[in-house]
Amino acid sequence: MGQTLTEKILDDHLVEGDLTPGEEIGIEIDQTLTQDTTGTMVWLQFEALGLEDVQTELAAQYCDHQTYQFDFKNTDDHRFLRSAAGTFGAHFSRPGNGICHNVHKENFAAPGKTLLGSDSHTPTPGGLGQLAIGAGGLDIAVAMGGGAYYVEMPEVVNVRLEGELEGWASAKDVILEMLRRLSVKGGVGKVFEYTGPGVESLTVPERTTITNMGTELGATSSIFPTDDQTEDYLERVGRADEFVELGPDEDAEYADEITIDLSELEPLIATPSMPDNVVPVREVEGERVEQVMIGSCTNGSYEDILPAVKMLKGNEVAKHTEMIIAPASKQSAEILARQGHVAELMAAGVNFSEATCGACIGIGHVPASDSVSLRTFNRNFEGRSGIEDDNVFLCSPEVATAAAIAGEIVDPRDLAEEYDLEAPGIELPEKYDGSKADLISPDEAIDDELIKGPNIGDVPLKDPLGDTVGGETILKMDDNITTDHIIPATADILKYRSNIEKLSEFTLSRVDDTFAERAKAAPGGVLVAGENYGQGSSREHAALCPMYLGIEAVFAQSFARIHKANLFNFGIVPLAIDEETYAKIDQGDDIEIVDNIGEGVRSGADEFTVSVNGEWEFTAELDASERERDILAAGGKLSWTKQQAESGGAAPADD
Ligand code: MIC
Ligand code: SF4
C-alpha cells in the first residue's frame, strides 16, 4: 500500500512504534524552534536536565511576542535567551526581527525535515513540505537534547483542492472554509494533507497561511507536497539547494477526504469570538470598524501587506478607523521600505509597528471599548486582544483593507465597484534579500554562560504520584476553554512567564479571579471542563501553574492535544468523563478517586471509580500510553527524564 506524504516523513524519522493511527510513535526531530514567552522555560529545563549542547541539526530561538519590552523583565528574558542560545548552540533572532514562524520559514524551514516548536503555530512550514508540530516546552527541551518526540500517530486526512482562487478570494478563505466546515475541534488527532489539482496554483506564502491556521482546527499538523512553487520560493529566499521533491504515493490511503473547489470560495470572515464562527463577509457588511490590523504569523508577510499597498493607492484610511500594519518579519518591512511602499502606506494613513506578535496577544493596539476590530490574525478568543467583551473579526488582508477604506465591514467585491479597485492577487518579491543583521548563528554567539535577571526563577518540580488524587472541584468550566483563559498572555501577565510563583496568581483569572487563591488554600483540588479543554496555545504554563497551585487532576469531556501532553508532563492526571457526568458535577463538589491511582496508573488501568461528596460515583477514563503513565507516576517529565538518564535509559543524549 502506498504512503501519504505525512507517513513518508514520519517513517523516515521513526524511532519507536508503528504508523497505526491512535498509537503512540516516537520520532527523531531535525529542527527546533522556541520563542520568547515559552523559550525561557525550555532553556531552564534544558539546564535542569544537565544538558550541555543542542543535539538537533538546528535549533532557533526567536524573540517575537513581547518585543516592546515594557518591563525590564521582558528585556531580561530576551538577554537570557540570547545567552542560552549562545551557551547551548542555537541560532538567535533578536527582538524585532520578526515572528518565529515567518523568520523560520524564510531562513531555515526545509522540505522533508521534522520541526518541533514551543508554539502552537509551528506547523506553518508545512506549506513547503516540512512536517512541523507544536508542543509543550519540556518536549522541545528533551528533543534539543537528542531525545525522541512522542505523539499519537495522527489520522491523515486528504484535503483535495480543485480549481483556482478567483477575484477577491484568498488563501485565508481556504482555511476559514475549513474552520466553517470542521470547527475548532475538527482536527484533533489529524494531519491535513493538501493534494489535488488546485495545489499548484498556490504560492508558498499562500500555503503557509493555510498550514499556519490549521492549528485553529486543533490539528497535529498540516502539509503540502513540494513542487515548482516550493522550488521557486526556496530560490527567492536563497536556499534553492534545499529543494526536494516530495508528495504522497499515487495509491496512498487516507482516513478521510474533504474537497474544496477554490473557484467557488468567496471572501469569508470569522466573527467574534471563535475562529470557527465563519460567515461570508456579505452577511456582516455595514458594521462600523474602528480598527484594522494586518499582521501575525498567518497574514503579516510581504505578500500580505502588498495587497494593502495596491488597494490604498489613491485612497485613504477612513477618518474614524485606525489601520496598523505589524509586519511578520523585519525582512518583509525592509523590502517594502526599499520599494517605497512603507512611505506610500504611511501617507495613506497607515501606522507601522515593529515586526512582532504584539497585538495578537493583547500587547499594544488594544481595541477601544465596544468597538469592532478587523484583523488578519488567526485567533479571536474573547479578551485575547486585551479588553474583555472585545469584537475581533478575522479575515484576509483584502477584506481588512477594504474595511479600512470604507470604515465598515464590506465585501471587497462591493467596494471594488465604488472605488474602481482590481483584485490585488498574490505577488512575491523578486528576492527575499533583507539584512541578516538580527540573526546570530551559533558561530557568532557572544555569550557562553547563562545570564539570569532577578525575575527568572527555577522550574518547580512535583512529587511522584501518590495513592490518592482528588479534592474540591475548584472550578467547573464550559466547552472550548482556551489556554488564554487558563494563563492569559497580555502584557501585564506575560512578563512573569519565567517566574511561576508570580504567574500562577493569574491562573484562570479570565474565568474566575478568585481561582488562584482558592486553589492555593485548598488541599489538593481538581478542575472539571467540557469539550476541547485547553485548546489554543502550546504554553506549558497552562499546566505548570495549576500544578503549582496544587491541582491534581482535570476531568474533561475531551482535551486539546498539546495541552493534554502538557498535563502529563507536569504530573496532572487528565481524565475523560461523559456528558452526563459533566452535567452532574457541581463546582465545590468533593471528588475522590476511589481506586489507588498511583498503582492504577503504573499497572495500566484505564478506568477509575470516582466518588462525589461520598454520595454518588462515576467512572473516569485515562487514555495514556505506557510512557505517559511512567511520566505521571514520576511526578512529571522533568523528573522522569532525569531518572531515565540516571538509569542509562532512552533519555536525551549529550556529548
Ligand atoms: C499564541 O498564539 O497563543 C501564542 C502566544 O503564540 C502561544 C505561545 C505562548 O503562549 O507563548 C502559542 O500559540 O503556542
Ligand atoms: Fe504570535 Fe499571534 Fe502567531 Fe501566536 S498566533 S505566534 S501570538 S502572531
Ligand 1 atom showing the smallest separation from residue 134 Cα: 14
Distance 99 CA to ligand 2 centre (A): 7
Distance 112 CA to ligand 2 centre (A): 24
Distance 467 CA to ligand 2 centre (A): 40
Which ligand minimizes its atom distance to the CA of 120? 1
CA dihedral over 557, 222, 374, 278, signed as positive or negative: negative
Question: 653 pLDDT exceeds 60?
Answer: no
Mutate to test the pocket of ligand 1, among 33, 41, 64, 65 (most ligand atoms within 8 A of CB): 65
Question: 652 pLDDT exceeds 90?
Answer: no
Say how many residues make up the chain. 655
Nearest CA to ligand 1 atom 9: 539
Torsion, Cα 623 627 628 634, to 10 degrees, reads: 140
- Report the phi/psi class of residue 620: left, alpha or beta, with left for phi > 0 and alpha for psi in -120 to 50: beta
**pLDDT of 648:** 76
**pLDDT of 118:** 98
The residues facing 2 across adjacent strands are 252
Read off φ and ψ for residue 584, nearest 5 degrees. Answer: -80, -25
Nearest CA to ligand 2 atom 2: 360
Which ligand minimizes its atom distance to the CA of 483? 1
Ligand 2 residue neighbourhood (C-beta within 6 Å):
65, 99, 119, 121, 296-297, 357, 360-361, 378-379
Place of cell 515559552: 38
Pairing label, strands 149-152, 24-27: antiparallel
**pLDDT of 655:** 39
Nearest CA to ligand 1 atom 3: 537
Options 2.170.120.12, 2.40.50.140, 3.30.499.10, 3.30.70.20; which CATH number does 268-419 get? 3.30.499.10
Q: Is 542 in the pocket of ligand 1 (CB under 6 A)?
A: no
Question: For the whole model, what pTM was predicted?
Answer: 0.98
Distance 468 CA to ligand 1 centre (A): 33
Read off φ and ψ for residue 34, nearest 5 degrees. Answer: -135, 155
**pLDDT of 1:** 84
Question: 650 pLDDT exceeds 70?
Answer: no
Distance 344 CA to ligand 1 centre (A): 32
Question: 2 pLDDT exceeds 50?
Answer: yes
Model confidence pLDDT, tens digit, residues 91-117 = 999 999 999 999 999 999 999 999 999
**pLDDT of 647:** 85
Mean pLDDT of 7-27: 98
Superfamily of chain region 5-250? Aconitase, domain 3 (3.30.499.10)
Which ligand minimizes its atom distance to the CA of 213? 2
Distance 538 CA to ligand 1 centre (A): 6
* Chain mean pLDDT for the chain: 97
Q: Is 415 in the pocket of ligand 1 (CB under 6 A)?
A: no
Structural domain boundaries in the chain: 5-250, 268-419, 470-647
Distance 490 CA to ligand 2 centre (A): 12
Question: How big is the CA angle at 310 (ends 308 and 314), to the nearest 5 degrees?
Answer: 105
Model confidence pLDDT, tens digit, residues 228-279 = 999 999 999 999 999 999 999 999 999 999 999 999 999 999 999 999 999 9
Dist CA 357 CA 359 (whole Å) = 6
Distance 613 CA to ligand 1 centre (A): 37
Could you write out the DSSP letters of every residue in 52-69?
A: -S--SSEEEEE--SSTT-
Which ligand minimizes its atom distance to the CA of 40? 1
Question: 651 pLDDT exceeds 60?
Answer: no
The domain made up of 470-647 is a member of CATH 3.20.19.10: yes
Mean pLDDT of 315-335: 98
Model confidence pLDDT, tens digit, residues 131-172 = 999 999 999 999 999 999 999 999 999 999 999 999 999 999
Which ligand minimizes its atom distance to the CA of 535? 1
Model confidence pLDDT, tens digit, residues 344-386 = 999 999 999 999 999 999 999 999 999 999 999 999 999 999 9
**pLDDT of 654:** 42
Q: How would you write 624-635 as a 3-class SS string?
A: CCHHHHHHHHHC
Dist CA 591 CA 624 (whole Å) = 21
Ligand 1 atom showing the smallest separation from residue 384 Cα: 3
For residue 47, give Cα distances in angstroms to 31, 84, 141, 374, 568. Answer: 19, 9, 9, 42, 21
Dist CA 140 CA 45 (whole Å) = 10
**pLDDT of 649:** 63
Q: Is 535 in the pocket of ligand 1 (CB under 6 A)?
A: no
Domain 470-647 in the same topology as domain 268-419: no
Whether 198 and 163 have beta carbons less than 8 Å apart is answered as: yes
Mutate to test the pocket of ligand 1, among 62, 139, 539, 540 (most ligand atoms within 8 A of CB): 539
Ligand 1 atom showing the smallest separation from residue 487 Cα: 10
Give the sheet arrangement for strand 149-152, strand by strand: 14-16, 24-27, 149-152
Distance 607 CA to ligand 2 centre (A): 38
